């Protein structure tokens, strides 16, 4: 399996090998869990992959931090993350155009008649910000902007990235992911960026410049939101960490044979 990974997208770095191992162990664990108990020897059960996986996950500080986002994208999609180049005429021009769109977006969001001002919670605003930026960028001379499509050609709003911008003259692609954050939380270690690698729903299908458009906002006061600044961030040097979690649905939990007490009206 490691040889296939090397041939497909270059040799993995140590961090990516460890991340790959996580999914390898998890896959083996799931397969083993579906085998009938009687077919698994006691010695094999004692050394099951999950017994190796858990200690490895607990060693998160050493194993799963500081992974280059550009490497994650390359190894999961085969696409390169380009750094913004200040000496590149196209990059300079497009960044100025995106900056103008961010200026106008913030102006419109702060307007008293903006639909965004009617939102009671800030997480209700995200899709409206994306729509506004898409509209502004798509009407900017020399640019096209749309929601990225999956490998199957479907538009999917959820997941990274939110917007795909193309400079028509050079065909250079820029991915833009708008974010909202509260005043005072700029240096917070709380997770605000997520990328879930999946083949069917992957939206990173170009070698591109990857950007975050972060809007800072004050707490809601007098039934209005006040956006105070924006930052355009180049993700080419961005470092991420892998957060592994075991998940289950309501269907998994509320099995009749597992319920030990209940009451209903």
Take residue 234 and report the two structure tokens written for it: 């180049």
Number of domains into which the chain is organized: 2
Does the residue 164 lie in any domain?
yes
Same domain, 38 and 113: no
Q: Is 188 found in the same domain as 112?
A: yes
Same domain, 34 and 103: no
Residues 110, 231, single domain; the answer is: yes
> Considering the domain boundaries, does residue 72 fall inside one?
no
Residues 116, 60 share a domain: no
In a domain, residue 188? The reply is yes
How far apart, in Å, do the first and last CA atoms of the chain sit? 54
100 and 156 both lie in a single domain: yes
Residues of the chain with pLDDT under 50: 1-12, 14, 24-25, 27-40, 43-45
Domain harbouring 179, CATH code? 3.40.600.10
Q: With respect to residue 247, please indicate whether it lies within any of the assigned structural domains.
A: no
- Residue 131 CA to residue 157 CA, distance in Å, equals 10
Residue 260: inside a domain, yes or no? Answer: no
What's the pTM value of the predicted model, to 2 decimals? 0.75
Phi first, then psi, for residue 145 (nearest 5°) are -145, 135
Residues 15 and 133 in one domain: no
Residue 257, in any domain of the structure = no
Please indicate, yes or no, whether residues 105 and 234 belong to a single structural domain of this protein.
Answer: yes
Domain co-membership, 26 together with 136: no
If asked whether residues 138 and 48 sit together in one domain, one would say no
Assigned domain for 262 exists? no
Residue range of the domain that includes 21: 2-65
Whether the Cβ atoms of residue 173 and residue 165 lie closer than 8 Å to each other? yes
Last residue of a domain, one of 65, 96, 117: 65
Q: Which helix (H) or strand (E) holds 182?
A: strand 173-182
- What pLDDT does residue 48 have? 73
Residues 219 and 172 placed together within one structural domain of the fold? yes
Instruction: Give DSSP secondary structure letters for 59-96.
Output: THHHHSS-EEHHHHHHHHHS--EEPP-TT-HHHHHHHH
Q: Report the alpha-carbon distance of residue 233 to residue 161 in Å, rounded.
A: 14
| pLDDT at site 61 | 55
Report the alpha-carbon distance of residue 20 to residue 72 in Å, rounded.
Answer: 10
pLDDT of residue 119: 94
pLDDT of amino acid 16:
52
Residue 90 shares a structural domain with residue 204:
yes
């Amino acid at each position: 399996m490691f040889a296939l990974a090397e041939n497909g997208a270059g040799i993995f770095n140590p961090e990516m090998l460890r991340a790959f191992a996580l999914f390898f162990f998890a896959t083996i664990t799931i397969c083993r869990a579906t085998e009938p108990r009687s077919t698994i020897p006691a010695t094999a059960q004692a050394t099951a992959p999950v017994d190796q996986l858990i200690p490895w996950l607990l060693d998160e500080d050493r194993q799963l931090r500081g992974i280059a986002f550009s490497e994650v994208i390359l190894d999961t999609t085969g696409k390169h993350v380009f750094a913004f180049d200040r000496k590149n005429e196209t990059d300079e021009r497009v960044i100025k155009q995106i900056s103008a769109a961010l200026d106008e977006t913030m102006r419109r969001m702060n307007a008293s008649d903006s639909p965004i001002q009617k939102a009671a919670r800030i997480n209700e605003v995200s899709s409206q910000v994306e729509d506004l930026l898409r509209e502004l960028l798509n009407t900017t001379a020399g640019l096209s902007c749309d929601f990225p499509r999956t490998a199957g050609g479907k538009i999917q709003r959820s997941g990274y990235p939110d917007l795909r911008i193309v400079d028509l003259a050079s065909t250079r692609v820029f991915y833009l992911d708008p974010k909202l954050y509260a005043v005072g939380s700029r240096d917070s270690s709380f997770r605000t960026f997520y990328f879930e690698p999946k083949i069917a729903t992957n939206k990173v299908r170009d070698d591109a410049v990857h950007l975050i458009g972060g809007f800072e906002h004050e707490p809601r006061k007098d039934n209005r939101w006040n956006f105070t600044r924006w930052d355009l961030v180049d993700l080419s040097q961005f470092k991420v960490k892998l957060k592994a979690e075991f998940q289950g649905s309501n269907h998994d939990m509320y099995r009749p044979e597992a319920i030990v007490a209940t009451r209903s009206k």
